């Protein structure tokens, strides 16, 4: 939003970033998308390249080795990558806004100097662990504990569904330091790979987002020096909610990218595919699908940039980011579904791109708070 009204144009930086990603994506992501999807191998080389391009520390100030961009540019980064591959987009989003974002927002100066330069260049990949097997939406009721022992904290428990749990060199972990179901009962810690008592567990075999690695993280009497604690004791859950406000914009941006990718593929296909001696685009039934897809994408984009704008201006962004995440993720599922329909039988075949968008899109209505949880957040905000 500009001083004299709304600004709907991309900035020069956003145009430059989008061009750079399009060029890189066409040359290096599109050709290998199905390879990574089928093997579920984590595309470390691509993430390192994106690090060199400044896209793994988008929001990190230059003094810590990042690109020093704001949330508008960040939305452009995640959505443009998401057009090529939802899984790579998810990894970029989780790395930037969860692990790196948590240290950037709440870490001490020493923690920022130590970790941000490595994360911003993708020399190290970051993970962020809140979810557990029995506590997803109800994350505040977690079982992983951290108990104080002199100069150390001792962590025990298992985190579930953690992006980059295996390939990450660093994880920010939220553990319970107070009694269950009490206020301010969790604290955040930074854990380096190789710390005794810390290892990854099972790697999940997923429906979509298969290039993005998802594993358990296991803590068995894992001793962390007090210097690894982020902020104050008892602030971990509050910090996590702050991180998720930004995280939800990430998933909204990712949803936008997946929806645009599916829509662009369907629009092209509708002009190429001929039935009854004409392109199927000529049928009003197909045109109306494309119209609804395009309109919902535009609405998602506006909501997502609105949320980014609120965060950039340090305005209360909880409601806006929940609305953007809810609407954009449901739109991605809707658009990918319609894209498969427009492709007909070919939409169901792995030689064509839309079945992957369809599988990838579904994560967006679940990860970083399900659609139902976004509605709870929005409902609470209506009464304020």
Catalytic positions: 368
- Determine which residue in the list 36, 71, 74, 161 makes contact with ligand FAD, applying CB under 6 A: 161
Given 26, 45, 149, 372, the residue binding ligand FAD (CB under 6 A): 372
**Shortest CA distance to 27 belongs to which of 76, 84, 74?**
84
**Options 121, 184, 341, 370; binder of ligand FAD; rule CB under 6 A:** 370
Please select the residue that binds ligand FAD; options are 92, 116, 125, 209, rule is CB under 6 A: 209
> Is residue 374 a contact point for ligand FAD (CB under 6 A)?
no
Which listed range, 14-22, 40-48, 293-301, 363-371, lies at the site for ligand FAD (CB under 6 A)? 363-371
Q: How far is the CB of 201 from ligand FAD (least distance, A)?
A: 14
Is residue 129 close enough to count as binding ligand FAD by CB under 6 A?
yes
The distance of closest approach from Cβ of residue 83 to ligand FAD in the complex, given in angstroms and rounded to an integer, is 19
Residues 70, 219 contacting (CB under 8 angstroms): no
User: How remote is the C-alpha of 163 from its chain's centroid?
Assistant: 9
Q: Which of 60, 218, 363, 377: binder of ligand FAD (CB under 6 A)?
A: 363
Task: Please give the biggest Cα pair distance in the chain.
Answer: 79
- The length of the chain in residues reads 384
Phi (first) and psi of residue 237, to 5 degrees: -70, -40
Contact between 131 and ligand FAD (CB under 6 A)? yes
Tell me how far, at minimum, the Cβ of 159 lies from ligand FAD, in Å: 7
Report, in Å, the least distance between residue 266 CB and ligand FAD: 25
Q: Cα–Cα distance between 106 and 113 in angstroms, integer? A: 13
SS3 223: strand
Compute the C-alpha angle 103/81/74, nearest 5°.
40
Q: Does position 218 bind ligand FAD by CB under 6 A?
A: no
Find out whether 247 and 237 touch, Cβ atoms under 8 Å: no
163: contact with ligand FAD by CB under 6 A:
yes
* 3-class state of residue 199 by DSSP: strand
Q: Which of 299, 305, 307, 288 has the alpha carbon at shortest distance from 327?
A: 299
Position of tokens 């330069």? 117
Q: Are 377 and 319 in contact (CB under 8 A)?
A: yes
Helices (H), the chain: 12-24, 33-39, 44-52, 71-84, 86-93, 101-106, 109-120, 236-272, 284-312, 318-343, 354-361, 371-382
Least Cβ distance, residue 162 to ligand FAD (angstroms):
5
By CB under 6 A, residue 366 contacts ligand FAD: yes
Residue with tokens 């591959």: 85
Residue of 24, 128, 189, 305 interacting with ligand FAD (CB under 6 A): 128
Query: If binding is defined by CB under 6 A, does position 368 make contact with ligand FAD?
Result: yes
130 binds ligand FAD (CB under 6 A): yes
Query: Using CB under 6 A, which of 144, 158, 167, 214 touches ligand FAD?
Result: 214
Q: Does 247 bind ligand FAD (CB under 6 A)?
A: no
List 92, 94, 191, 243, residue binding ligand FAD (CB under 6 A): 94
Number of residues lying near ligand FAD (CB under 6 A): 22
Which range binds ligand FAD by CB under 6 A, 128-136, 224-232, 267-275, 305-313?
A: 128-136
| Residue 339 to residues 336, 344, 354, 358, Cα–Cα distance (Å) | 5, 9, 6, 8
193-211 CB burial, b ≥16 within 10 A, e <16? bebeebbbeeebebebbbb
Rounded to a whole number of angstroms, the minimum distance from the CB of residue 133 to ligand FAD is 8
Site for ligand FAD contains 137 (CB under 6 A) = yes
- Write the Ramachandran bin of 125: left for phi over 0, alpha for psi from -120 to 50, otherwise beta: beta
Q: How many CA atoms lie within 13 A of 240 on its CB side?
A: 26
The residue from 162, 190, 262, 265 that contacts ligand FAD (CB under 6 A) is 162
Shortest distance in whole angstroms from residue 378 CB to ligand FAD: 12
Shortest distance, position 208 Cβ to ligand FAD, whole Å: 8
- β 198-203/145-149 pair status: unpaired
Q: Which residues bind ligand FAD (CB under 6 A)?
A: 94, 128-131, 136-137, 161-163, 206, 209, 214, 363, 366-370, 372-373, 376
């Amino acid at each position: 939003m500009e001083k004299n009204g709304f600004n709907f144009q991309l900035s020069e930086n956003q145009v430059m970033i989008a061009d750079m990603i399009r060029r890189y994506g066409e040359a290096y992501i599109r050709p290998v998308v199905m390879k990574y999807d089928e093997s579920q191998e984590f595309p470390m080389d691509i993430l390192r390249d994106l690090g060199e391009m400044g896209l793994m520390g988008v929001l990190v100030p230059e003094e810590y080795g990042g690109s020093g961009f704001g949330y508008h540019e960040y939305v452009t980064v995640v959505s443009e990558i998401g057009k090529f591959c939802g899984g790579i987009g998810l990894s970029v989003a989780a790395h930037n806004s969860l692990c790196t974002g948590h240290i950037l927002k709440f870490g001490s100066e020493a923690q920022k100097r130590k970790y941000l330069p490595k994360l911003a260049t993708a020399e190290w990949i970051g993970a962020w662990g809140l979810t557990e097997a029995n506590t997803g939406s109800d994350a505040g009721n977690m079982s992983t504990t951290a108990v104080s022992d002199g100069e150390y904290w001792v962590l025990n428990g298992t985190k579930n569904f953690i992006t980059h749990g295996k390939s990450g060199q660093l994880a920010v972990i939220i553990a319970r330091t107070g009694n269950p179901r009490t206020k301010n009962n969790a604290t955040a810690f930074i854990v380096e790979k190789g710390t005794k008592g810390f290892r990854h567990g099972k790697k999940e075999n997923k429906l979509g987002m298969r290039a993005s690695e998802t594993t358990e993280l296991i803590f068995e009497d894992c001793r962390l020096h007090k210097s690894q604690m982020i902020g104050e004791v008892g602030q971990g859950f509050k910090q996590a909610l702050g991180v998720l406000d930004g995280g939800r914009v990430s998933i909204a941006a990712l949803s936008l990218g997946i929806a645009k990718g599916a829509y662009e593929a369907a629009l092209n296909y509708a002009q190429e595919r001929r039935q009854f001696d004409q392109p199927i685009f000529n049928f009003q039934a197909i045109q109306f699908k494309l119209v609804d897809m395009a309109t919902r994408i535009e609405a998602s984009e506006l909501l997502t940039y609105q949320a980014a704008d609120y965060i950039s201006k340090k305005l209360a962004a909880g409601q806006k980011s929940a609305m953007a995440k809810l609407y954009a993720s449901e739109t991605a599922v809707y658009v990918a579904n319609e894209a498969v329909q427009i492709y007909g039988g070919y939409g169901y075949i792995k030689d064509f791109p839309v079945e992957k968008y369809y599988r990838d899109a579904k994560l967006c209505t679940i990860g970083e708070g399900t659609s139902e949880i976004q509605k709870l957040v929005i409902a609470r905000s209506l009464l304020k």
